[in-house]
Amino acid sequence: MDIKTAIQALAKTRDEKYCKICIVDAVDETARTVDVSPIDESAPILGVNLQANQSGEMGVVCFPKVGSFVVVAFLSPATAVVVLTDEIEKVILKLDESDPVELEVVGGSVSLKVGDTTAEIVKDKKITLNGGDNGGLVIIQGLTDKINSLVDAFNNHTHTLLTGSVVVAGTPTTQNNAAPITVPAITSKAQKLQKDDYENENITH
């Protein structure tokens, strides 16, 4: 019997409704049920529902940690559901099949999917957007410093032509330059960059 049928049946009966505090023995993520043992040492309860529509995939489902406490409510002698949890191992949220939004929290990671857009956040400051196929995002200040180092080198660059390295004409005998020739720095200097020139503030990391 599923939850919907059990609730409908409740309205037609005078069965006593009650709850039990239990310890989680096993979790079935596919069936979205748990097996539990009541702390009053009564018989184990198998296949306790974790969501209203046991065969559905929409809504919110919290998977309790094995060994943690849960409160189990009996909607009928044959149908029980987890109504409160102690420690949660995993949470799944799924909304609207036509325009799906999915969120999964487990261990040290969070995964989010909105349509075709995905994001995964894990510990150690790592974030992966849309599979990460394009590599890492730019470290904006580091890139700015690197580019401006090149700008400085370009703006301040001079070089010297060694003695005898330039052939000159003007007399019957070909002559070389008698002293080093220094080529002056450029007069039209490049402008330094600012990170605002290429920073997308809508995506930060």
Q: Is the pLDDT of residue 12 over 60?
A: no
* Average pLDDT score over the chain: 82
Question: How far apart, in Å, are the Cα atoms of 11 and each of 3, 151, 161, 169?
Answer: 13, 79, 101, 113
What pLDDT does residue 172 have? 66
C-alpha span between 60 and 91 (Å, rounded):
7
Strands (E), the chain: 18-28, 33-38, 45-49, 59-64, 69-76, 79-85, 88-95, 101-106, 109-114, 117-122, 126-129, 159-161, 167-168, 175-176, 181-183
What class is the 3-89 domain? mainly beta
Confidence band, pLDDT 50/70/90 cuts, at residue 8 = low
Q: Bridge-partner residues for 123, per DSSP?
A: none
Buried-state track 182-201, b at ≥16 Cβ within 10 A, e below 16: eeeeeeeeeeebeeeeeeee
Which residue, 102, 97, 138, 134, is CA-closest to 120? 102
pLDDT at site 105: 92
pLDDT digits 0-9 by tens, 91-143: 999 887 777 899 999 888 999 999 888 999 988 788 888 888 888 788 888 88
Quick one: pLDDT band at residue 85, thresholds 50, 70, 90? very high
Instruction: Go through the chain and tell me how many residues it has.
Output: 205
Phi, psi of 136 (to 5 degrees): -75, 155
Digit-coded pLDDT (tens) for 29-63: 988 999 999 999 999 999 999 988 777 778 889 99
Residue carrying structure tokens 């979790």? 27
For the entire predicted model, the pTM comes to: 0.64
Residue 168 CB coordination number (10 Å): 10
Domain residue extents for the chain? 3-89, 140-193
pLDDT tens figures, 168-201: 666 666 677 677 878 777 777 777 877 777 777 7
Digit-coded pLDDT (tens) for 134-164: 887 888 888 888 888 888 888 888 777 777 7
